[in-house]
Amino acid sequence: MSKLIPPHGSAALNPLYVADARDNQRLADDAAKLPSIVVSSAAAANAVMLGAGYFNPLTGFMSKTEALGVATDMRTKDGLFWPVPVINLVQDAGAIKAGDRIALKDPNVDGNPILAVMDVTAVETFTDADLALIVEKVFRTSDPKHPGVAALLSQGKTVLSGPIKVLNFSYFKAEFPETFRTAVEIRDEIEKRGWSKVVAFQTRNPMHRAHEELCRMAMDRLQADGLVIHMLLGKLKEGDIPAPVRDAAIRKMVEVYFPPNSAMITGYGFDMLYAGPREALLHAVFRQNMGATHLILGRDHAGVGDYYGPFDAQTIFDEIPKGSLLIDTFRADNTAYSKKLDKVVMMREAPGHTPEDFVTLSGTKVRDMLGKGIPPPAEFSRPEVAKILIDYYHALDNG
C-alpha cells in the first residue's frame, strides 16, 4: 500500500464539489430560484479548482483583506501559506449583499448554467491602489500588455467573498472526458497504482524531445514510481496551441515512447495566469494536493515574454519560509539535444560544448516550420508529435 503525501493544510482533501447525486440535484433545484450572477472566466476556473480539491483547504472566495494579505505576505487570514489570491471579481454586484445565497453562472458554457452556489459573507470594492498592489505583487509587473495583468484588470473592482458549493466542472468534463481529472481522482489513481514518489510535469504546450527527456531525467534521478503529466485545459493567451491538439500530441508521445503504466496523462481546469514565480508556487500547492511529491520546474516556468528571469520560478522556492510546502521540486536547466553526446542533456551538465553543438530552435521558428508543413529535426521533436502539430497548423491555414 502506498503512503501518499498529505494535502496542503489539512489531513484530508476537502473538495467543494457536491458529489452525492441527490444532494447535487437538490442544491441545483434550489439554486435555480436564487439571485444569480455570471462570473468571469477566472472566477469560474477558481470555482472548478475549489470543487476539484486542487485548492484545498480553501472553502471559497477570499475577502478583500485576505486577498491583499495573500498578495503581500502569501498567507491567508489563518496563517496558511498561499501564493495567489483566489477571488471572485465582478463589474457590478447589483443588489447582492452580505448574507445572501447566490448562484454563480458559468460564462464559458452556452446558456450560462449554474456552476456553484455561494454564501456571500461580504461585498467589497477594491480601490485602484488595491488592484495595483495585487498586480505588482502577483505578476511583478503592472504592464497592461502582460496577459495575466490584462485578464485581472478586466474583471471589475467589486469582490464577492464567501464559501461555495460546486455543482459541476464547467466544460472540462464534457470536452476532455479522458483527460480532466480532479485532485481526488488523481490521488485515487496514484493509490491504486501503488506509487509513493510521484513526479508532476506542468505543461500548457505540446511536449517536444527536451520536455520528454526532462521527465525521464527527473524520474531516474529521483527514483520515482511514476509521472503525472498534468496539462492546463483552460484559457490561454492568443497564439497558444489549443488543449485538444496538445492532448493528442502528448498522448501519442507517451503511447510510443514511454513504458506502459509509467505515466498518467491528466489535465486540470484553470485559466493560465502567466504569473511566473507566484504561479509556480501555486502549481506546487495543487500538485501536492493531487498527491505528487515532486514538481518539475523548467526554465521560465509559468512565464511569458521577458517579464521574469529564466530561473526566478525556481529560486522563489528558496525564499518562502521553510515548511510552507511538503512537495519538493526538481529544478532543470535548459535542455537540448547534444550532437556530441547524441542525446538530450541539461546544457549546464554538458561541458566542452559550444552553442553549435546543441540542436536549439525558438518557439517562433518551430511554429514557422510546422505552419509550412516542415517537421522540425527528429532531435527536437518526435515525428509522430510533429505530424499532429503540422495537421493542426494546416487546418488553421485552410480554415
Q: Are 7 and 56 a contacting pair, CB within 8 Å?
A: yes
State phi, psi for 210 to the nearest 5 degrees: -65, -40
> What is the spatial distance between Cα 296 and Cα 335, in angstroms, rounded to a whole number?
13
Provide the 8-state DSSP code for 7: P
> What is the spatial distance between Cα 374 and Cα 101, in angstroms, rounded to a whole number?
56
Instruction: Specify the amino acid at residue 173.
Output: K
Of 75, 101, 193, 204, which one is the catalytic site residue? 204
Q: Among candidates 382, 357, 327, which has minimal Cα distance to 213? A: 382
**In sequence order, which residues have a C-beta less than 8 Å from that of residue 354 and are 6 or more positions away?**
none
Output b/e per residue, 211-226; b: 16+ Cβ within 10 A.
bbbbbbbbbeebebbb
Output b/e per residue, 308-343; b: 16+ Cβ within 10 A.
beebbbbebbeeeeeebbebbbbbbbbbbbbeeeee
Q: Are 343 and 337 a contacting pair, CB within 8 Å?
A: yes
> What is the spatial distance between Cα 221 and Cα 224, in angstroms, rounded to a whole number?
8
398 is catalytic: no
Residue 239, phi-psi category: left (phi > 0), alpha (psi -120 to 50), beta (remainder): left
Question: Per CATH, the architecture of 21-173 is what?
Answer: Roll (3.10)
First vs last Cα of the chain: how many Å apart? Answer: 51
Q: How many helices (H) and strands (E) does the chain have?
A: 13, 15
> What is the spatial distance between Cα 204 and Cα 134, in angstroms, rounded to a whole number?
24
> What is the spatial distance between Cα 366 and Cα 33, in angstroms, rounded to a whole number?
52
Provide the 8-state DSSP code for 145: T
Burial of 106 (0-12, 13-18, 19+ CB in 10 A): buried
Q: Residue 271: which H helix or E strand, with range?
A: none
Domain spans of the chain, in order of start: 21-173, 178-397
Distances (CA, A) of 144 to 29, 136, 273, 342, 355: 41, 11, 13, 43, 35
Provide the 8-state DSSP code for 5: P
- Which pLDDT score is estimated for 363? 76
Per-residue HEC secondary structure of 13-34 comes to: CCCCECCCHHHHHHHHHHHCCC
pLDDT tens for the 399 residues of the chain, in order: 468 999 999 999 999 999 999 999 999 999 999 999 999 999 999 999 999 999 999 999 999 999 999 999 999 999 999 999 999 999 999 999 999 999 999 999 999 999 999 999 999 999 999 999 999 999 999 999 999 999 999 999 999 999 999 999 999 999 999 999 999 999 999 999 999 999 999 999 899 999 999 999 999 999 999 999 999 999 888 888 889 999 999 999 999 999 999 999 999 999 999 999 999 999 999 999 999 999 999 999 999 999 999 999 999 999 999 999 999 999 998 888 999 999 999 999 999 999 999 998 887 788 889 999 999 999 999 999 999 999 999 888 876
Of 24, 112, 205, 334, which one is the catalytic site residue? 205
Topology of the domain comprising 178-397? Rossmann fold (3.40.50)
46 is catalytic: no
Provide the β-strand partners of residue 102: 118
> What is the spatial distance between Cα 382 and Cα 258, in angstroms, rounded to a whole number?
13
Look up residue 86 and give its three cell numbers.
483566489
